Amino acid sequence: MSEKTQKKSTSGWFKELEREFKKIIWPDKLTLAKQTAAVVSVSVVLGAIIALIDFLVQNGVEILINLG
């Protein structure tokens, strides 16, 4: 591929990229804040559930080992 053809295709790629970026609908601050709060809340709840399950399994294994 010649240098001129490569520059043209690269230039076209960036123009297409710019057109695609103009199609993006960015959320407003309120929507972004609500979605961020939802993600953080779900992460904290799932982390607590996983920690609880880990605690129960760990203690359950210890109880089984001590019985034997």
Q: What was the pLDDT predicted at 15?
A: 92
Measured distance CA(15)–CA(30) in Å, rounded: 31
Q: What was the pLDDT predicted at 33?
A: 98
AA letter at 34: K
Q: What was the pLDDT predicted at 18?
A: 93
Could you tell me the sign of the dihedral formed by the alpha carbons of 53, 59, 61, 67, in that order? negative
* Ordered mean pLDDT values, 10 residues apiece, the chain (68 residues): 67 92 95 98 98 96 84
Q: What was the pLDDT predicted at 2?
A: 61
Confidence (pTM): 0.60
